[in-house]
Structure 1
Amino acid sequence: MELNCYIVDAFTRERFHGNPAAVCALDKWLPDDLMQSIAIENNLSETAFVVRDGERWHLRWFTPGGEIDLCGHATLGTSFVLKTFVAPGAHRFVFRTMKNELVVTEADGRYTMQFPAYGLKPVSVTDAMTEATGARPREAYLARDLLLVYDDERIVREMTPDQAKLKELDGLLVHVTAPGSAFDCVSRSFAPKLAVPEDPVCGSGHCHIVPYWTKRLGKNTIHAYQASRRGGELWCRQDGASVELSGDAVLYSKATLHL
């Protein structure tokens, strides 16, 4: 069996920046263990698999460490692949996922995604957080992931966390964030529990990050920067229980998988 697999750099217009996602557009589902093996072989933070479901699309995401329930950059990458190679006349995509129905719209090459916002629960700042990240956060919040807030963006940009100690913290991923000088906020995202030391630009992470900064800054729009080595920009808006994430994408490669 042969299968097309695309790699798309998401949240950027420049190749080798943003967050690379692998996307496989399928006629029918592959066995779960095969999809997991493909994700491990790709060795990217996410590999997306999508199957047409009537007027909608059924979308699943696999990390090298297992399937997850929400991923922003691979949803953007999937929309780009569908728009470019599968349904070029479409400007709106509705995805059925493990937990939610997600809507993505495209206009002039920019993709806007409607995602659920996570409800953040304040938690105590601990010595374990300081030891894992190398700096003591001023605040900490927990939802699906752990969000740690710092006062200085240099701390976030220069952070070299201890991956083993990050694994011991609560939450699936760990996001660190601070106010930015050129952006409303800068952030980074770490996912050692999913065998991903750092997610270059994390869409689902901004479903934690945006609710925090809109409340703190007193406005509902956020221009965010993910300060990983690759870097990426997100234009974000809080709309009640939803977060709107907008970004660009560029194709890096198209490959044929021999399965």
Structure 2
Amino acid sequence: MAYPLYQVDAFADAVFEGNPAAVMPLNAPLDEDVMQRLAQENNLSETAFLWPEGDAWRIRWFTPSKEVPLCGHATLASAHVLWRELHWPHDELRFNSASGELRVRKVDDLIELNFPALMPKPAELSADVAERLELKPQDVRSAIKELVVLASEAEVAAFSRDFSGCESLESGVILTARSDRDGVDFVSRFFGGPEVGIKEDPVTGSAHAILVPYWAEKLGKSELVGRQISSRPGQIECVLDGDRVRMRGQARTYLRGFVEWT
């Protein structure tokens, strides 16, 4: 049997930008080991699997090495596939996930994600992360992922190592700083830990669920623009709305095809 597969560049207004994700819409779930092997074969930071569940959709996200509880760019890519490729007729989508219900809606030509806000708490930098960082942080926080605040955008941009060998990490490290750019409030980069199987993720929606409440408090504003300054950059319009973070971006289909296996 052949299964549809789409590859979508998320948080991008053109192909070859943003963060690529694989999306596989299904009629029913596959075995977990099969989904994991498909994600490994796709070899992208995330593969999203989705299937109908009542009047909503069940969604699960897999990196090449493990399932993760929350992923922003692959959720945006999934919504793009349902609307643009499969012609889902409604302007709002509900995804049931390991992180609860996620609502996605169309806002003009943008797709808006509604995620739980994860306010990071003060934390200490572990020795192996500090050794690779080789910089003095302005602040260190933690909320699933480690949040390391640096002195400047230049320091975030110039960092040239990764944290793949840091055994103290589970879900990776976010480097961030206030932006030097007009119209952008903060910049960031996200690096996966050894269990995630991603050295650096281009544009990370789940990281902004942590970044937005942090910078909203620091800057005293609820509407922010974040730019992830990886080699494939992307920009996210963000709103802190109580205990939720709304993130808006565009997506473009790069590939349409089918996969099959015996």
Would you say 1:186 and 2:207 are equivalent positions?
no
TM (norm. structure 2) is 0.95
- Taking a change above 3 Å as real, the CA distance of residues 164 and 97 of structure 1, as seen in their structure-2 partners, is closer
Q: CA deviation at 1:145?
A: 0.6
Q: In the alignment, what sits opposite 2:11?
A: 11
Show the 5 A alignment for 1:153-232.
153-165=153-165, 167-182=166-181, 183-192=184-193, 193-232=195-234
Q: CA deviation at 1:170?
A: 3.8
Would you say 1:241 and 2:243 are equivalent positions?
yes
Q: CA deviation at 1:134?
A: 2.9
TM (norm. structure 1) is 0.96
The secondary structure found in structure 1 opposite 2:141 is strand
Provide structure 2 residue ranges, at least 5 long, that are not aligned to the other structure.
Answer: none
- 2:13 touches 2:250 (CA, 8 Å); kept in 1? yes
Give the aligned residue type for 2:67.
E
The secondary structure found in structure 2 opposite 1:212 is helix
Q: CA deviation at 1:164?
A: 4.0
The root-mean-square deviation of aligned C-alpha atoms, in Å, is: 1.3
Q: CA deviation at 1:210?
A: 0.7
Show the 5 A alignment for 1:1-259.
1-125=1-125, 127-165=127-165, 167-182=166-181, 183-192=184-193, 193-259=195-261
Give the aligned residue type for 2:172.
L
Q: CA deviation at 1:132?
A: 1.9
Once the two structures are aligned, what percentage of the paired residues are identical? Answer: 38
- Give the distance between the partners of 1:86 and 1:154, measured in 2 at CA: 42
Aligned length: 258
Q: CA deviation at 1:143?
A: 1.1
Give per-residue Cα distances to partners, 1:136-191, cap 9 Å, x unaligned.
211100111100001111111111124344x2344412100001111100000011
- 1:143 touches 1:171 (CA, 8 Å); kept in 2? no
Q: CA deviation at 1:87?
A: 3.3
- Taking a change above 3 Å as real, the CA distance of residues 66 and 209 of structure 1, as seen in their structure-2 partners, is same
- 1:117 touches 1:242 (CA, 8 Å); kept in 2? yes
Give per-residue Cα distances to partners, 1:194-249, cap 9 Å, x unaligned.
11101110000011111110000000011000000000000001111111111110
Give the aligned residue type for 2:177.
A
Give per-residue Cα distances to partners, 1:56-82, cap 9 Å, x unaligned.
000000011110100000000000000
